[in-house]
Amino acid sequence: MATVLLFSACGPYTFKDVSIPPEVKTIKVNFIENRAPYKNPQLSPRLTDQLQQKISNLTRRTLVTTDNADYIISGYISSYNVSTAAISSQQASANRLTVGVHMSLFSALDNKTTEYDVSRDFDFSAGLTLSQAEAQLFDDIVKNVTDEIFNRLFSNW
Per-residue pLDDT of the chain (157 residues; tens, 9 = 90+): 443 433 333 433 333 567 888 899 999 999 999 999 999 999 999 999 999 999 999 998 999 999 999 999 999 999 999 988 767 766 668 899 999 999 999 999 999 999 999 999 999 999 999 999 999 999 999 999 999 999 999 885 4
* Neighbour-count burial for 88-103, b at 16+ CB within 10 Å, e otherwise: eeeeeeebebebbbbb
Quote the pLDDT of residue 12.
34
The DSSP symbol for 5 reads H
Q: Let me know if 47 is exposed, middle or buried by CB neighbors in 10 A (0-12, 13-18, 19+).
A: buried
CATH topology assigned to domain 26-154: Double Stranded RNA Binding Domain (3.30.160)
pLDDT tens-digit series, residues 66-105: 999 999 999 999 999 998 876 776 666 889 999 999 999 9
Q: Residue 128 in contact with residue 92, Cβ under 8 Å?
A: no
pTM metric for this prediction = 0.83
Q: Cα(120)–Cα(98) distance, rounded to whole angstroms?
A: 6
**Domain regions of the chain by residue span:** 26-154
The conformation of residue 56, written as its DSSP 8-state character, comes to: H
DSSP structure string for 33-51: EE-SSS--TTHHHHHHHHH
CA atoms within 13 A on the CB side of 65: 0
